[in-house]
Amino acid sequence: MNPNIPFRDKETALKVSQSIKKEADTHKTYKIMEVCGTHTMAIARSGLKSMLPENVELISGPGCPVCVTSQGEIDLFFELLDCGVSVASFGDLLRIPGSNGETLIDKRARGADVNVVYSPLDTLKLAEDNPDKHYTFLGIGFETTAPTIAALIMEAKEKGLKNLSVLSFCKTMPAAFDLILSDKDMYLDGFLCPGHVTAVTGVQLYEPLIKAGKAAVVAGFEPVEMLDAVYEIVKQANNKNFHIVNKYRRVVPDIGNANAREILAKVFYESDAFWRGLGELKKSGLAIRQEYIEYDALKRFDLKPKNITEIKGCKCGQVLTGKIKPQDCPLFAKRCTPEDPVGPCMVSGEGTCAAYYKFLR
């Protein structure tokens, strides 16, 4: 695609849509998983699905960090508050119900010190300004956000702060890809790969996808960019010539960000982690290294995430693995709405259920 073409131009989008229609074999169904929650929301918002032929299907995957946070991890937010600490959190987490139906907003209304921050690093100022309180940052995120959380821990140590810790539930994508690839019931032609994660990892993250005979195309978030990526995946599927294509080079270099990876490796090591809907995945989490143990809230407060099943009736797990669409959940748009969510997929601004509720009902 010509890099000068405006990424939101309707005519260009229509042309790419026509190219997909011409390329797609009418005797075949193409299944493409978008892995990133930002893609899920951008696809829904732009009405992109209506520009695809019926036999080209986009399926949402486990790429929203709030949504993959397991129920056992969420419940630890509440246990932590019961230890009397103050927490700092991204806003989305405040509305996710714990197993007893209570949210962090409810807790705050009853006097708990729950602070919304826009960057993990904002926690430093909270801790510095209030030396008589202990602040724990609720650390969720993939390879994209984790370097900033690592930077928070490093900076806290440099400053010698003793009243700050991090609950690290950060996760990494490779094990999730492995799980999806090993699912015999899930046929996929290719993946629309997350630009944000690639900005850190580089495109080599997707080599296992190619080895498994799937297309892997990194795309931006504008309609023309996403359509162009779908076109590339359909072509690769037809030619059975699978390779990684980075169509987001205007933002994401193929090699990713070596500095960010270095910071990650300094602070974290790979650990097993519980994912909502996917269960416990080996080496899919980021735990805090021994050198920074004083900043590890799990160790400091002796907490352990339990493998707790989702709230009764919530089917986030199946939504996250592309097995069902949000409308197939009996609670969708009835008991579960963005105003009164049951599961994180309806809470998060990148959640599949929230995207379908807002744009695809």
Would you tell me how many other CB atoms lie within 10 Å of the CB of residue 259? 10
**What dihedral do alpha carbons 331, 337, 340, 346 form, nearest 10°?**
90
Please report how close the Cβ of residue 293 comes to ligand SF4 at its closest, in angstroms.
35
In the bound state with ligand SF4, the residue whose beta carbon lies nearer, of 303 and 329, is: 329
Residue span binding ligand SF4 (CB under 6 A) among the ranges 75-83, 97-105, 151-159, 308-316: 308-316
Q: Is 68 in the site for ligand SF4 (CB under 6 A)?
A: no
Binding status of residue 93 toward ligand SF4 by CB under 6 A: no
Least CB distance to ligand SF4 at residue 316 (A): 4
The CA–CA distances, whole Å, from 281 to 172, 234, 254, 284 equal 10, 30, 27, 6
331 binds ligand SF4 (CB under 6 A): yes
DSSP 247: S
- Residue 24 is a binding residue for ligand SF4 (CB under 6 A): no
Q: Does 343 bind ligand SF4 (CB under 6 A)?
A: yes
Helix (H, G, I), strand (E, B) or coil at 255: coil
Q: How many residues bind ligand SF4, per CB under 6 A?
A: 14
- As given in the structure block, the two tokens for residue 30 are 């193409």
52 part of the interface to ligand SF4, by CB under 6 A? no
Amino acid at position 165, single letter: S
Question: Is position 329 an interface residue for ligand SF4 (rule: CB under 6 A)?
Answer: yes
Q: In 3D, which of 355, 361, 357, 358 has the Cα closest to residue 60?
A: 355
Cα distance between residue 137 and residue 361, in whole Å: 35
Using CB under 6 A as the binding rule, whether residue 263 contacts ligand SF4 is answered as no
DSSP assignment of 179-242: HHHH-TT---SEEEEEHHHHHHH-GGGGHHHHHTT-EEEEE-SSHHHHHHHHHHHHHHHHHT--
- Cβ closest to ligand SF4, residue 210 vs residue 360: 360
CB 93 within 8 A of CB 140: yes
> Contact between 345 and ligand SF4 (CB under 6 A)?
yes
Smallest gap from Cβ 336 to ligand SF4, in A, equals 3
* Comparison of 133 and 323: residue with beta carbon closer to ligand SF4: 323
Of 14, 25, 34, nearest to 56 (Cα)? 25
Q: Which stretch binds ligand SF4 (CB under 6 A): 174-182, 201-209, 230-238, 309-317?
A: 309-317
In the complex with ligand SF4, the residue whose CB is nearer, 240 or 334, is: 334
Which bin fits 213, alpha (ψ -120 to 50), beta or left (φ > 0)?
Answer: left
Partnered with residue 296 across adjacent β-strands are 166
Residue from the set 16, 151, 288, 319 that interacts with ligand SF4 by CB under 6 A: 319
| Interaction of residue 64 with ligand SF4, rule CB under 6 A | no
Q: Binding residue for ligand SF4 (CB under 6 A) from 46, 195, 315, 322?
A: 315
Q: Which residues bind ligand SF4 (CB under 6 A)?
A: 314-316, 319, 326, 329, 331-332, 336, 342-343, 345-346, 353
